[in-house]
Structure 1
């Protein structure tokens, strides 16, 4: 499996406790690994239908990134881009800037029909998604700005709380929503992140629309 090299998060990449406490953290329990991609598609079938909604999905490996992109590319209500180590610097900067513009658009229009769902044939703007590996997260210490998505999906749960917090600090708006996909024994890892970070990670409501 091809895995991008990941640097350890630096203290400068941490956020204030107010940022983490403002965000809402949830987990989605997946019975078996083979159902994980199907569960993601179901999740995006609700969350991804919000017009212009900015979403970041984090993977730990390039292989998983490729698999996710291959599946999501077929969803008509999502505009998809990806960040990985092979990208030229100019292309990376362009992708990040376009996504930041998408978050500004979302923030400016958040009160306009927030409950509407995408319907085939209408002209509602697609939701915007970046799929990224940990190695390619924005580097705050190098002067890159965070991208402040409304939703952060941890498709692959990080094994350490430091990486969990780094994903939040670089990708999530202060009042955003974190959705953690958890398979089997990862419940122990999730509990460790929760306790080590002082966060409350609740079970995702059956009606996801309640939290969007």
Structure 2
């Protein structure tokens, strides 16, 4: 497995500097992709409340990813797909946004007060993961807001630059005080 890092220009905020990092993980065989994603989430998912989005190009990919990740005990998993009722979609998005708020509060507590991880129920401490197809990404042009994840994993790279850009703008938080990462796991060529 090859790994390349390409940092984007840093964003300067009044109190903290932030840098968006992009990683590409080249997986030489398709059967190793899922194993690689599970290993990544084995590391990332152990951070309490970490909001993570995995983007898939098709419903079949989404189902496979959800099936493989559903047994991870430290991750709260939800899926956004085209057959999901509007009410359920809204609940998934709101729960994920609440996880983002919890993540921000946790970071503020640790940074400002030097506190250790707060003692709350285990379910609340889980990282929150939404697996989504491109069709179901929020539409910023119609007033929906970004998912505001801290980590975006592209399970399969999209074939169009526009789709890739839409994934980043609708999934990642803007103006973050801390690092945002985009992780790629693909067996095909870069856009």
TM-score tier after normalising by the smaller chain length: 0.7 to 0.9
TM-score normalised by the chain length of structure 2: 0.79
Q: Distance in 1 between matches of 2:162 and 2:46?
A: 31
1:35, distance to aligned residue in structure 2 (A): 0.7
1:34 maps to 2:31? yes
Q: Distance in 2 between matches of 1:22 and 1:163?
A: 22
1:24, distance to aligned residue in structure 2 (A): 1.6
Q: Distance in 2 between matches of 1:23 and 1:165?
A: 14
1:182, distance to aligned residue in structure 2 (A): 2.2
**Among 161, 178, 183, the residue aligned to 2:182:** 178
- After TM superposition, the structure 1 = structure 2 runs for residues 28-177 of structure 1, keeping only pairs within 5 Å, are 28-110=25-107, 123=122, 125-174=125-174, 175=176, 176-177=180-181
Q: Which runs of 5+ in 1 are unaligned?
A: 1-16, 193-212
CA shift in 2, pair 1:163/1:109, >3 Å: same
1:18, distance to aligned residue in structure 2 (A): 8.3
1:23, distance to aligned residue in structure 2 (A): 2.4
Q: Distance in 1 between matches of 2:139 and 2:100?
A: 18
* Count of aligned pairs: 165
3-state SS, counterpart of residue 54 of structure 2:
strand
TM-score normalised by the chain length of structure 1: 0.72
